[in-house]
Structure 1
Amino acid sequence: HDRFLTVNDMVHLVAQYRPDPQGAPGAHENYNQTAYLLLPGVVEKVAGQEFSHYVKQHILEPSGMENTHFVTDMPGYKERIGAAHLDNLFAFMLGEGNMVSTAEDLFKFDRALAQEKILGAGIQELAYTPMILASGEKGRYGFGGGLVDDKPGNRVFQHLGQGVESHVIFSRYIDADDVLIVVHDRSVEYAVPVYKAIRNIWKKRPFELPQPRVEHRLSTNLINKYVGDYGDNGFMHITTEGGKLFIQPDGNPGKMEIVPSSDTTFYFRDQAVDWQIYLNEQGEVIGFGPLGQKEFMMKRFRQQN
């Protein structure tokens, strides 16, 4: 945790530790941020040039995107990042973000795609086509996004991007050759409901504005019950201070408040994802993880005596 990672570092880590595969190739699909971290390395091998130069030459310049930049190119970026720690190890890696843009520039990108300035029509259609899994079931993801509506004549390809300073929802209405781009620079927590309201206004449908999220008060007994170590080797710690709960992983100098929305559900401020404390039938804490996804929880770590 004491230095910033590169693509080669990640490849060497996988080669060294050989983590178990999640399944056979094509068995199932998951959104995989690590794959986007590795992608620039593939591009550099094939194109024979730095990834940032390739993107500028083949995407930004043909699209006329003059207000889109890699954050690593911005003045003072290295000084703002400071020393390496668990939360910023990928700060100088490109591929899964690390760019800033505007809604206008993203619209130029969409027009460049539609006019085949970046990709040919056949390749672009392939990007909109989810893979067929080994079971014969059709997946959801294409290249760089998901097909959220696959009805012929009404296909919608969408990607949600969360950055350091903004949240973007990019929806391409393929068959109508239309696009809705919402850049939300104030709060990730309300980005999706704000997007839905804007979309419904755009479509001349009834809409609802997002309401403030509930802040539930936990009893002292529950707070003390939830405090502890979670995950492999207990690397994730839930602590308490001033009647509030915080979560902090090993190697991270900072901690984040987890705000209760009920006795067992939580959220992080400025995030849209809901979390849950999982209990067994005896009411004992067995883990902490995404709401309703027990299979992905970090199990409560209990030190062996």
Structure 2
Amino acid sequence: MDFATLFQQIVNGISLGGMYALIAIGYTMVYGVLRLINFAHADIMMVGAFLCFFAMQYFGLPFWAACIVSVIFSALLGTFVDRVAYRPLRFAPRISMLITAIGVSFFLENSFNVFFGSSAQSFSSPEFLSQTILINEISITLITLVVPALTLILLLMLLYLLYRTKQGMAIRAVAFDVSTVSLMGINANKIISLVFIIGSSLASVGGICYAVSYPTIDPFMGVMVGLKAFAAAVLGGIGSVGGAVLGGFILGFTEVMAVMFLPELSGYQDAFAFLLLILVLLFRPVGIMGDERLERSRF
């Protein structure tokens, strides 16, 4: 194996990990605030990709404008799901919210399947994102560099929001104890809605990046990607934003490199991610950046 191939696969793994990380952040933030695994989150990623597709295909919007429309409407969808499906069950047993999340996931998948068909549709992205950069013998597609860079930029923006703004302080307070925060005059429902806005927006960005990298979309595109992103959140330490991003990059890198070194097992590519998760949790059940002593602390 030559160095050019190795370096190219490393970049591909980091790019794939960046997409997992964007989606994993939404999982870990919602869990940090509500202790809920929002299984509908991956389907909001799918909706984001479809919204971008429709905005370009049927309304003739340029790619950048379609991305903005997708992010806005995905954020609204996230808050709508919270308002309709989760808020009435806020103080119900957590199993009720979990079942509701699974139901919302099935509803979104099957609704898009009924209205738009199950066949994959080609996603047209700007040509410059598909351009190839040649560095000596190394060939890298521009989108593989854009995704991890975008992930890190959005992570820094999110960390600034969480630790340098009043809204971020409120989010961390609600994650610590929602009942006490409500008694102190903070509208917990608005803060939770903000969490869903942030998570759904990042899921939309992840869906668009995935659609550009693998230029097809379908109503069930979020199923396996969502499971891997959830695995990334658990691997990094669910409830930790930095852990979710780290877990995403590790998972994507491992998945690509395992196939490169074991090409005869390429048909089991999806299994490598979950095998890594099992191995890490055997030795560190709280994840890489999780902390048993800070069980109630989040982010």
Q: TM-score range by the shorter chain?
A: under 0.3
TM-score (normalizing by structure 1): 0.25
User: Which structure shows the higher helix fraction?
Assistant: 2
Which one has a bigger Cα radius of gyration? 1
Q: TM-score, normalised by structure 2?
A: 0.25
